[in-house]
Amino acid sequence: MRTRSIWLALLLLPACTYSAAVKRGDAALAAQDFDKARLAYEFAYDTKAKDAAQQGLERATAGWVTAKLSDAGAAASAGDHEGADRLLREVALLEPEAQSLSDARVEAQGKLVAALNGKMKALDDDVAGTYAFAVSAKRIYPGIPETNDAVDLVRDRVEADARGQLEEKSFAEARETATLIIDVEPGYASRGQALVDEITEAWADDLVAQANKAERNEPGLSAVLYARAYELLERPEDLESSRSAWDGAAEEGTLAVFVEHGGSGGRPIRMRKAIAAAAQESEGVVRGFSSRWALKAKVFAPETRCRESKEKEGLTKDYISGQVEVSNPEHEAQSEVAKTASDVLDAAQTKLDEVQPKAEAANEELARIEKDLAGQNAEVTATTSLLAQTKGQHESSISEVSKVEAELAALPAEAERSKATITEKLETVKGYVVEWEERVERDTSALAEFKAAVESLNAELATAKPKAETLTAELDAATKALTEAEKTHSEAQAKLGNLSPTLMEDVPATLEYDKTTWTQTCTARSTLYFVARWDNELESPTKLELVKTATDTSVKGHEKAEVAEDPKEYPKSERELTEELDAETIEKLNTLVETYVADYFASSVAGAFAEADTHALISILAGTRERMDAESRAKVAAYLKEQHGLEKLEILDPREPLVEATPEAAPAEGEAADGEAAPAEGDAAEAGATEEAGADDAAEGEAAAEEAPAVSKPDAEAEEAAPAEAEAGGDGAPVWK
């Protein structure tokens, strides 16, 4: 931008100032501003001052070259060899044959070689940095053996380090080291990639070997190792092996829950069956057996007891036992009202008869006056119009006289005959003027008479109209009063006609009776014992006592008192109450079992993270994925990335979509066709035998009774009589709580 500004300034100089460009060049040269000096001299060279400009330009160029070479030397000394090379190339564009440029190149090359030798001596301290420096040096000075040899030597060292790390099974470090060749020397990218591929394959093979070793005892860890191997090379067999190990881990990630009952009767058996069924529907829970379980629940549930109670309430109710005939006071009162209405009607009729003739006479007189007034007003209007026409004709006659007189005056003296004719015409017109003046006077007189008549009639109207309006108002009021009186009289007579002179009067009485409130109260008691094969702080045993009631009332009926017969009939039967209590009990017991189940999985996940137990963590994820929220699954993904380098959880978890779809694997040998795991070979006989025994409720109840304390009482006392089982020794042994 600075150079462009200088050129613009110079181009704007007038012709007479061209020689001044040389002076500015001299000043810039003295200030060692070689760029500005050269621009000024070059401008002056194209003008009349060529000699002086040529000399100045040579001096400025020499100074510019010296400055650039000095900067290049300083850059090389500071380790900025690429900057030094860039400055030398700028000088070469202007002065390619300058000896000073050749000397500066030799000096810069020497400094770069010295720096390269220094880095090569300390190669062990920074192989990657030395490699990049050597490649950069070779790019700047490709023809000297020192840079070529250094690049080859460091490249060989990088390969040797990568292979050494590979032998030590430091696969991540080995692959990172080999990647240097690709990043630093694009020309050797294929060679570097081949080494990276070799390391990656060896890494994947090592992971597969570890996975094979862990697959029997730690299928969760095995699944992760196979998945990481697939992530490295995307071999389908590694993904298939990971999914197979995942299925094995899923079996170990479940919780076996065994439910038994204590006590006799059908209720504990119903409780056991319902709790066991609900537990097996819980995420991650499988059916346990008496010989294989991680959580055992034992329920004691004596039969529900129901008792009935009642409470009486004395009530009274007033009612009518009969009637007697008495006079009707309302009829008497209405008779007085009807008489008064008749008197008012007579008075209204009298008033109307008095006012009506007067009003009619006044209105007739008013109509006559208004009719005469209208006639006189019409005469005034017609006479006014006629007078205006008469005046117009009179004025026209006067105007015509003036015209004839002017015509007569304009005739010459010798036109005697014409004068005589016009004079005769003038006299005729003057006669018209007199005639119209008479008509004007006559019409004016007639108009005055008509107006006087109008004024007289208006005076009569002013008196007659208020009188007529007053009498009309009185007539309207009298008519209205008569109408209202007739209506009132008619209504009073009609109401009187609807009333009986006598009435039947009620004879009151009071009924005393009892209202009985019945209450059916059902109580259901149960106790749930737990024994768990993991450390926990949950309470056991838990006792439940649930109560439900049904209430109804009963009343003996009485017909006259209108007390309806109300027999005792509960809204819910004893059986319905018992079933509801069983349902609520089962719901609460299921909640208790779920509390233990949730504690197991929560503590298992926490323990797996704390102990960095990949197998345990993956087993829980595979067997009970829905018990892990998004945050927990993200934590698992972070753990797997940190511990095993696995980048994508979806490779490991078949329920997560793969980025690239792979052929769906056939069910593994020993796996059920619908995707559920078949029983392990060693457990098949035991599971079959236990399930067969479980089909017989009575037999299983007897087996449970043998393990539980003997219980002979079917009520709450039987619950309290059930003692806690003694602690058993050994690791993982059950302990009744």
Which DSSP string do the residues of 351-408 spell out, in sequence order? HHHHHHHHHHHHHHHHHHHHHHHHHHHHHHHHHHHHHHHHHHHHHHHHHHHHHHHHHH
Minimal CA–CA distance to 128: which of 148, 195, 136, 108? Answer: 136
Please give the residue that has the higher pLDDT: either 579 or 40.
579
DSSP of 485-507, one letter per residue? HHHHHHHHHHHHHHS-SEEEEEE
Q: Taking the CA of residue 236 as centre, how many other CA atoms within 13 Å lie in the half-sphere pointing to its CB?
A: 6
Q: Evaluate if residue 588 carries a pLDDT over 50.
A: yes
What's the rounded mean pLDDT across residues 596-608? 87
Position 329, amino acid: P
> What is the rounded average pLDDT of the residues 278-301?
90
Q: Which residues pair with 309 in a beta bridge?
A: 519
pLDDT at 554 over 80: yes
What pLDDT is attached to residue 94? 66
Q: How confident is the model at residue 707 (pLDDT cuts 50, 70, 90)?
A: very low
Q: What is the pLDDT of residue 704?
A: 37
Q: How confident is the model at residue 354 (pLDDT cuts 50, 70, 90)?
A: confident
606-608-609-615 Cα dihedral, nearest 10 degrees: -150
329-499 domain in CATH 1.10.3720.10? Answer: no
| pLDDT tier for residue 109 given thresholds of 50, 70 and 90 | confident
Answer whether 545's CB lies under 8 Å from 523's CB: yes
Rounded to the nearest 5°, which phi and psi values hold at 520? Answer: -100, 115
Q: Is the pLDDT of residue 449 over 60?
A: yes
Average pLDDT over residues 485-489: 87
Q: Which residue has the higher pLDDT, 47 or 610?
A: 610
Does the structure show a pLDDT above 50 at 221?
A: yes
Which string of DSSP letters, residue by residue, matches 606-663? HHHHHTT-HHHHHHHHHH-GGGS-HHHHHHHHHHHHHHH----HHHH-TTSPPSS--P
The pLDDT value recorded for residue 587 is 93
Q: pLDDT higher for 736 or 606?
A: 606
Band (462; pLDDT cuts 50, 70, 90):
confident
- The mean pLDDT value for 494-507 works out to 84
Residue-level pLDDT at 705: 36
Report the largest interatomic distance among the alpha carbons of the chain, rounded to a whole angstrom: 178
pLDDT band of 433, cuts 50, 70, 90: confident
- pLDDT higher than 60, residue 658: no
Specify the amino acid at residue 428: T
Would the pLDDT of 10 be above 70?
no
370 has pLDDT over 50: yes
- Which pLDDT value is given to residue 689? 35
Share of the chain above pLDDT 90, in %: 25
Gap between the Cα atoms of 386 and 299, Å rounded: 130
Lowest mean pLDDT among 50-54, 209-213, 514-518, 662-666: 662-666
Contact 83, 55 (CB under 8 A): no
How do residues 20-65 score in pLDDT, each as one tens digit?
A: 666 676 676 666 666 776 666 666 555 554 555 555 656 666 677 7
Average pLDDT over residues 467-496: 86
Q: What is the mean pLDDT of residues 125-141?
A: 84
Q: Which residues touch 151 (CB under 8 Å, ≥6 apart)?
A: 131, 134, 135, 138, 185
> In the chain, where are the structural domains located?
2-214, 219-305+565-721, 329-499
Round the average pLDDT of the chain to a whole number and report it.
Answer: 79
DSSP string, 243-282: HHHHHHHHHHTSEEEEEEEESSSHHHHHHHHHHHHHHHHS
CB crowding 375-389: b at 16 or more within 10 Å, else e: ebbebbeebeeebee
Residue with the bigger pLDDT between 276 and 60: it is 276
* Cα gap 658→171, rounded to integer Å: 25
Model confidence at 719: pLDDT above 70: no
Check if the beta carbon of residue 522 is closer than 8 Å to that of residue 548.
yes
The tens digit of pLDDT for each residue in 435-445 reads 888 888 888 98
Mean pLDDT for 430-438 is: 86
pLDDT at residue 663 greater than cutoff 80? no
